[in-house]
Structure 1
Amino acid sequence: MPIIEENTKTTVLHRPTTFKPPRTWRTWLFGNPLSTADAPHQTINKKVGLAVFASDALSSTAYATQEILVILAAAGTAAFGYAFPIALAIVGLLVIVTLSYEQTIHAYPGGGGAYIVSRDNLGELPAQIAGAALLTDYILTVAVSVSSGVAQIVSAFPGLLSYRAYLAVALVAFVMLINLRGIKESGSAFAIPSYFFLTMMVLTVGTALVRYLGGTLGMVVNPPPLEMLHETQAIGLFLILHAFSSGTTALTGVEAISNGTTSFREPRSRNAGITLLWMSAILGTLFLAITFFSGKIGAIPSETETVISQFARTVHGGQGVLYLLTIAATTIILIMATNTSFAGAPSLSALLAIDGFVPRQLAFRGSRLVYSNGIVALAFIASVLILVFNASVTGLIPLYAIGVFLSFTLSQAGMARRWYKIGRLQPDQEVRERGSLLHFDRRWAMKMVINSFGALCTAIVMLVFCITKFRDGAWLVLILIPILVVMFARIHHHYQDLAQRLSLERYGAAPRTDRRHRVILPVSSVHRGTLNALSYARTLSNDITAVHVSIDPDAVDKVKRKWEIWGGGVRLQIIDSPYRLLIEPMMDYIATIAAQRQPNEIITVVVPQFVPRHGWQNLLHTQTAWFLRQAFLSQPGIVITDVPYQLDRDETTL
Structure 2
Amino acid sequence: MTLPRQATSVTRVLTFFNAFKRVLVGRPFRNDKLAHTLLPKRIALPIFASDALSSVAYAPDEILLTLALAGVAAVTLAPWVGIAVMVVLLTVVASYRQNVHAYPSGGGDYEIANVNLGKFAGLTVASALLVDYVLTVAVSMSSAANYLATAVPGMHGTQAWVAVIGVVVLALVNLRGIREAGSVFAVPTYIFIVCIMGMTAVGIFQAVTGTLGQAPSAAFEIVPEPGFESGLVGLAGGFLLLRAFSSGAAALTGVEAISNGVPNFQKPKSKNAATTLLLLGAIAAAMLAGILFLANATHVHVVLDPAKEFLLNGAPLPEGYVQFPAISQIAATVFGNGSIPFFIIVAATGVILVFASNTAFNGFPVLASILAQDGYLPRQLRTRGDRLAFSNGVLALAFGAIVLIVAFNADVTKLIQLYIVGVFISFTASQVGMVRHWTRELRRVKDRLTRLRMLRSRTINSIGFLMTLTVLIIVLVTKFEQGAWIALLAMLVLFLIMWSIRAHYDNVAKELAVDADVSARALPSRIHAVLLVSHVRKPVLRALAFARASRPSTLEAITVDIDPDETERTIADWDMLDLPVPLTVLASPYRETITPIMNHITAMRRDSPRDLIVVYIPEYVVGKWWEQLVHNQTALRIKTRLHFEPGVMVASVPWQLKSSKDSQKYQELSS
Please indicate, yes or no, whether the TM-score normalized by the shorter chain is above 0.5.
Answer: yes
Contact 1:551 1:581 in 2 (8 A): yes
- Distance in 2 between the 1:71 and 1:121 partners? 38
Q: Does 1:464 align with 2:474?
A: yes
Q: Does 1:71 align with 2:66?
A: yes
> SS of the residue aligned with 1:44?
coil
Per-residue deviation, residues 551-571 of structure 1 (Å, max 9, x unmatched): 333332333333333571322
Per-residue deviation, residues 78-106 of structure 1 (Å, max 9, x unmatched): 21011111100010001110111000011
Superposed counterparts of 1:297-336, under 5 Å: 297-301=298-302, 304-336=323-355
- One-letter amino acid matched to 2:456: M
What does residue 387 of structure 2 align with? 368
Per-residue deviation, residues 11-55 of structure 1 (Å, max 9, x unmatched): xxxxxxxxxxx9943333222221111211210100000010010
What does residue 118 of structure 2 align with? 123
- Distance in 2 between the 1:262 and 1:314 partners? 44
Q: Does 1:44 align with 2:63?
A: no
Superposed counterparts of 1:537-548, under 5 Å: 537-540=547-550, 541=552, 543-548=554-559
Change (3 A) 1:593 1:346: same
Match of 1:499 among 501, 509, 517: 509
> SS of the residue aligned with 2:63?
helix
Contact 1:359 1:491 in 2 (8 A): yes
- One-letter amino acid matched to 1:190: F
- One-letter amino acid matched to 1:372: S
Contact 2:216 2:300 in 1 (8 A): no
What does residue 543 of structure 2 align with? 533
> SS of the residue aligned with 1:441?
helix
Superposed counterparts of 1:193-592, under 5 Å: 193-221=188-216, 233=228, 234-235=231-232, 236-301=237-302, 304-427=323-446, 441-508=451-518, 511-513=521-523, 515-540=525-550, 541=552, 543-566=554-577, 568-592=579-603
- Distance in 2 between the 1:229 and 1:491 partners? 50
Residue range with higher mean Cα deviation, 158-167 or 525-534: 525-534
Per-residue deviation, residues 135-182 of structure 1 (Å, max 9, x unmatched): 111110011001100010011122222322111111111111111111
Deviation at 1:381, TM superposition (A): 0.9
- Distance in 2 between the 1:226 and 1:507 partners? 82
Residue range with higher mean Cα deviation, 122-131 or 231-240: 231-240
Contact 1:577 1:585 in 2 (8 A): yes
- Distance in 2 between the 1:587 and 1:497 partners? 29
- Distance in 1 between the 2:219 and 2:395 partners? 38
- Distance in 1 between the 2:410 and 2:396 partners? 19
Aligned residues with identical type, % of pairs:
39
> SS of the residue aligned with 2:385?
coil
Q: Does 1:143 align with 2:143?
A: no
Higher RCO (C-alpha 8 Å, min separation 6): 2
- Distance in 1 between the 2:586 and 2:395 partners? 47
Contact 1:224 1:305 in 2 (8 A): no
Deviation at 1:220, TM superposition (A): 1.6
Q: Does 1:595 align with 2:606?
A: yes
Contact 1:43 1:265 in 2 (8 A): yes
Residue range with higher mean Cα deviation, 552-561 or 589-598: 552-561
- Distance in 2 between the 1:356 and 1:132 partners? 14
Per-residue deviation, residues 304-338 of structure 1 (Å, max 9, x unmatched): 42122111111111122111111110111000011
What does residue 7 of structure 1 align with? none
Per-residue deviation, residues 359-381 of structure 1 (Å, max 9, x unmatched): 11110111111111111111111
Deviation at 1:229, TM superposition (A): 11
Per-residue deviation, residues 236-292 of structure 1 (Å, max 9, x unmatched): 111001111111000000111010000000000111110110011010010111112
Structure with the larger helix share: 2
- Distance in 1 between the 2:635 and 2:574 partners? 19
- Distance in 1 between the 2:25 and 2:549 partners? 45
Change (3 A) 1:545 1:59: same
Deviation at 1:505, TM superposition (A): 4.3
Match of 1:633 among 613, 625, 643: 643
Contact 1:226 1:302 in 2 (8 A): no
Q: Does 1:606 align with 2:606?
A: no
Contact 2:147 2:350 in 1 (8 A): yes
- One-letter amino acid matched to 2:258: I
Contact 2:524 2:612 in 1 (8 A): no
> SS of the residue aligned with 2:76?
helix
- Distance in 2 between the 1:226 and 1:160 partners? 28
- One-letter amino acid matched to 1:198: I
- Distance in 1 between the 2:653 and 2:224 partners? 65
Contact 2:383 2:390 in 1 (8 A): yes
Deviation at 1:391, TM superposition (A): 1.0
- Distance in 2 between the 1:549 and 1:93 partners? 75
What does residue 647 of structure 1 align with? 657
> SS of the residue aligned with 2:247?
helix
- One-letter amino acid matched to 2:157: S
> SS of the residue aligned with 1:500?
helix
In structure 1, the gaps of 5 or more residues are 1-21, 430-438
Change (3 A) 1:536 1:102: same
- Distance in 2 between the 1:590 and 1:584 partners? 10
Residue range with higher mean Cα deviation, 455-464 or 397-406: 455-464
Change (3 A) 1:378 1:230: farther
Per-residue deviation, residues 208-239 of structure 1 (Å, max 9, x unmatched): 11111121211122579789897653521110
- Distance in 2 between the 1:60 and 1:650 partners? 55
What does residue 3 of structure 2 align with? none
> SS of the residue aligned with 1:420?
helix
Residue range with higher mean Cα deviation, 215-224 or 186-195: 215-224
Change (3 A) 1:267 1:231: farther
- Distance in 1 between the 2:221 and 2:264 partners? 45
Residue range with higher mean Cα deviation, 541-550 or 248-257: 541-550
- Distance in 2 between the 1:623 and 1:224 partners? 72
- One-letter amino acid matched to 1:128: L
What does residue 59 of structure 1 align with? 54
> SS of the residue aligned with 1:174?
helix
What does residue 134 of structure 1 align with? 129
Deviation at 1:480, TM superposition (A): 1.6
- Distance in 2 between the 1:181 and 1:251 partners? 28
Contact 1:223 1:310 in 2 (8 A): no
What does residue 307 of structure 2 align with? none
Per-residue deviation, residues 578-634 of structure 1 (Å, max 9, x unmatched): 3333323322221121111252x2111112210112234212221211111111111
- Distance in 2 between the 1:223 and 1:631 partners? 72
- Distance in 2 between the 1:37 and 1:230 partners? 61
Match of 2:88 among 81, 86, 93: 93
What does residue 11 of structure 1 align with? none
What does residue 165 of structure 1 align with? 160
- Distance in 1 between the 2:56 and 2:574 partners? 77
Residue range with higher mean Cα deviation, 514-523 or 89-98: 514-523
> SS of the residue aligned with 2:444?
coil
Change (3 A) 1:455 1:300: same
Residue range with higher mean Cα deviation, 542-551 or 216-225: 216-225
- Distance in 2 between the 1:115 and 1:184 partners? 25
Change (3 A) 1:77 1:524: farther
Contact 2:445 2:451 in 1 (8 A): no
Deviation at 1:536, TM superposition (A): 1.7
> SS of the residue aligned with 1:329?
helix
Contact 2:428 2:465 in 1 (8 A): yes
